[in-house]
Amino acid sequence: MVIILNTKWLPFELFMLFLQIDINHIKSRKMDKLPNDPMILFGAVNMLLRDNYHSLDELCDDMNVDRAELEKKLAAAGFKYDKAHKKFW
């Protein structure tokens, strides 16, 4: 099987290898800093907790973020951390 990609012919196996590498690259990417907007911060922190970290403390330690400040900023937007569910609600 052959797939056309950007007007070039690419064998199916090579295309699948390229696709797998790209997916792995995306999965392994981490954010180097957290967003400032509270709503985007809410989504970003929950995504990071779900995909990359076992706890909020681990996330804060790894990203050099003050946990109290992070919780205060998200609390001002109406979100509270739930340790049992490992996310902000």
Q: What is the pLDDT along the chain (89 residues), one digit of tens a residue?
A: 444 555 555 566 665 555 555 444 444 555 568 899 999 999 999 999 999 999 999 999 988 999 999 999 999 999 999 999 999 99
Beta bridge partners of residue 8, listed in sequence order? 5
Dihedral of CA atoms 75, 59, 51, 81 in degrees, nearest 10, equals -20
Q: How is residue 20 annotated by DSSP?
A: H
pTM listed for this prediction: 0.66
**Whole-Å CA distances, 86 to 47, 70, 83:** 11, 15, 5
Q: Which pLDDT value is given to residue 23?
A: 44
